[in-house]
Amino acid sequence: MSRPFRIGLTGGIGMGKSTTARMFAEEGVAVWDADAAVHRLYGPKGAAVEVIAALRPDAVVEGAVSREALRAWIAEDAAALKRIEAVVHPLVQNDRAEFSALTEADILLFDIPLLFETGADADMDMVVTVSCPPEEQKRRVLERGTMNEQALERILASQMPDAEKRARADRVIETDTLEGARDQVKAIVAEVREKQDA
């Protein structure tokens, strides 16, 4: 079998990325999720536990990395995030490479929130970003009940703007409706498979 086609999926908070990734999975696309990879790495016996413990021993609680402890450290030390990323990003890349090597599928989808920011877009055959109007994005995030407007503003300020993601992506999936998003996913998968069969 020829090399699988690699799609990078990105999009800001509340834009519908996880839902869209599930739609690709329903079309038989193998999905690698960066957030899930970090979750595995931070869990008991995860590859990040020892390296985080070496940086900040109290960030490891009961054999796993405590996200609360990391957040507290980042809040008190401006350099903490860079130090964490320096040790965790290579582990995430290894996890992604392992998935690529071991997964037998014609299309691989990489669900990566910081796709452009980490340069991972360079490894992709196609980059797709999910997007919806800002007021819809805000409504979705606040409806989750996990953060307030100020926290959302902070996250948005730290993320690449939606307009820039749209400009840099090969395809944009508008996620205002589930049906519309599903049709766009089906069209992309059909387009890729047609190219592969050509």
Note the pLDDT tens digit of each residue in 43-55. Answer: 999 999 999 999 9
Regarding whether 119 and 43 lie in a shared domain, the answer is no
Regarding whether 124 and 57 lie in a shared domain, the answer is no
Regarding whether 119 and 68 lie in a shared domain, the answer is no
Distance of CA 52 to the CA centre of its chain: 21
Structure-token pair, residue 135: 């007021």
Regarding whether 151 and 99 lie in a shared domain, the answer is no
Regarding whether 90 and 180 lie in a shared domain, the answer is no
Regarding whether 99 and 112 lie in a shared domain, the answer is no
Question: Are the C-beta atoms of 20 and 175 separated by less than 8 Å?
Answer: yes
Of the pLDDT bands very low, low, confident and very high (cuts 50, 70, 90), residue 151 is confident
Residue 186 φ then ψ, to 5°: -60, -40
Domain count for the chain, please give it. Answer: 2
CA distance 79 to 156: 20
Domain extent for 25:
1-29+105-190
Regarding whether 152 and 92 lie in a shared domain, the answer is no
Angle, CA 177 vertex, CA 175 and CA 180 arms, to 5°: 80
Structure-token pair, residue 19: 């839902």
Q: Is residue 11 part of a domain?
A: yes
The position carrying tokens 């059909």 is: 190
Regarding whether 50 and 137 lie in a shared domain, the answer is no
1 has pLDDT over 70: no
Q: Is residue 197 part of a domain?
A: no
| Full-model pTM | 0.90
Structure-token pair, residue 23: 């739609």
Task: Give the end of a domain, one of 79, 104, 129.
Answer: 104
Q: What percent of the chain has pLDDT over 90?
A: 83
Q: Is residue 136 part of a domain?
A: yes
Q: Is residue 198 part of a domain?
A: no
Q: Who wins on pLDDT, 10 or 74?
A: 10
pLDDT digits (tens, 9 = 90+) for 17-36: 999 999 999 999 999 999 99
Residue type, 185: V
CA distance 184 to 188: 6
CA distance 117 to 121: 9
CA distance 129 to 173: 6
To the nearest 10°, the Cα dihedral for 123, 126, 130, 131?
110
Q: Is residue 16 part of a domain?
A: yes
CA distance 117 to 176: 25
Question: Are the C-beta atoms of 170 and 116 separated by less than 8 Å?
Answer: no
pLDDT score recorded for residue 97? 94
Task: Give the end of a domain, one of 104, 132, 154.
Answer: 104
pLDDT score recorded for residue 84? 94
Q: Is residue 49 part of a domain?
A: yes
